[in-house]
Amino acid sequence: MAMIDKIIINNFKSHKNTELDLSYLNIFTGVNGVGKSSILQSLLLLKQSFEKRYLESGLELNKPYCEIGFASDALYQYAEEEFISISLFSDEKSFIWNFHPMKLNKTFIPIHGMPPLNYNTLNIFSNDFQYLSAARLSPQESYPTDTLLVETKKQLSIEKGQGELTPHFLYYWGKEQKLQVEFENMLHDENIDKDLFSQVIAWEREISPNVNIVVSPSDKSYSLKYSYNKPGDITSTEEFNAENVGFGLSYALPIIVALLSAKKGGVILLENPEAHLHPKGQSKLAELIALAAQNGIQIFLETHSDHIINGILIASKKFEEIRKGIDKKYISIYHFERDDKTHSSLGIRINVLEGGKIDHQPEGFFDQIDNDLKFILGF
């Protein structure tokens, strides 16, 4: 499947006219409400319309991946013309959709003109696709099961990227099918089995040392529990319900599973992977994200975490030194601001240089710690 190497968005939410050059790892930062999530939503709208077989005729605004509301919510508020355009580019080919809201109180926006030819060759329309939202499901007593979505479509979510099918996915593909992690450089340790279940546990231990994952099926659901190895002892603790263990383990679990089970040419959309994680865990998760992108998995990542950013920059430096990490040419970082005159999103490109450095640091780009320290120290 073809990777998306550029996107242009016109008149969608806060994006009056946004053009972004893309790579394998695409990172979107900025304060709240400046249009980061809308970039991901533009792709999700195309994806959900395609899966519902509506994309030939228009844009479905609600479910299963995202929920925009009505055409009035999708249209840029100061649009000079009532149209929304999403253009994707790949290998010098363009795929352009123009949508014309006939009425602003509708949840479906008709297409204007003809849909692009052969758009189903783009990677976002393949089955190798995962979306995990900021609203991932919190730890539960039990988790749902969906045979079609998990065992045929290999999905981690039923709707809106909640990751609620992760226990079912991990049990079926990890324990029953013994799915092997495809890429050697993503293996946590060469001495650990290469199957998905073993590798997920190994990476989860970067978040919570010595943790074990216990997934069990019942007739209509799955349970997720954790136990801990006792150092110097062959025994482990009793099993604890996910609700009684730190939120970070369960919030990170769908992301780790998605990354380790992905195939070359696949697509993963991630919102706030840092949620509920200690800084060390955030940095290690960033390392895994970088390794996945280096292997040809296209990732779209929204984050508010300097630890995620720094973890990726460290991975870039490691690639230069030991060839394990990510090549800087595969990283695209955009810092979003709001244009006060047009009340539209403005994406500022930040380039990664040698040694994991960046070419400039816009105001507001993870500078709050420095600003706070200067105040505390009296500078």
User: Which secondary structure element, helix H or strand E, spans residue 209, and what is its range?
Assistant: none
Q: Report pLDDT digits (tens) over 6-48.
A: 999 999 999 999 999 999 999 999 999 999 999 999 999 999 9
HSE-up of residue 153 (Cα within 13 Å, Cβ side): 14
Q: What is the pLDDT of residue 291?
A: 99
* DSSP code at position 233: -
Domains and CATH numbers, the chain: 1-128+265-379 (3.40.50), 139-261 (no CATH)
Q: What is the pLDDT of residue 189?
A: 84
Q: What is the pLDDT of residue 61?
A: 98
In 4-99, which ranges are E strands? 6-12, 15-21, 25-30, 58-60, 84-90, 93-99
Q: What is the pLDDT of residue 190?
A: 74
* Beta carbons of 45 and 66 less than 8 angstroms apart: yes
CB atoms within 10 A of CB 62: 15
**Terminal CA-CA length for the chain:** 53
Cα 159 from chain centroid (whole Å): 15
* DSSP code at position 357: -
**CA 111/CA 133 separation, integer angstroms:** 27
- In this structure, the dihedral spanned by the alpha carbons of residues 254, 259, 261 and 263, taken in order and rounded to 10 degrees, is 140
Cα-Cα-Cα-Cα dihedral sign, residues 324, 6, 337, 301: negative
**CA 25/CA 267 separation, integer angstroms:** 10
**CA 51/CA 178 separation, integer angstroms:** 28
Question: Closest by alpha carbon to 136, among 22, 258, 305?
Answer: 258
Low pLDDT (below 50) residues in the chain: none
Q: Is 116 exposed, middle or buried (0-12, 13-18, 19+ CB in 10 A)?
A: middle
Where do we find the tokens 């009056």?
16
**CA 340/CA 343 separation, integer angstroms:** 5
Q: What share of the chain is helix, strand, coil (3-state, %, to 5)?
A: 30, 25, 40
* DSSP code at position 278: -
* Beta carbons of 212 and 229 less than 8 angstroms apart: yes
Which residues share a beta bridge with 226? 213, 240
Name the amino acid, one letter, at 378. G
Q: What is the pLDDT of residue 148?
A: 98
User: Which secondary structure element, helix H or strand E, spans residue 222, and what is its range?
Assistant: strand 222-228
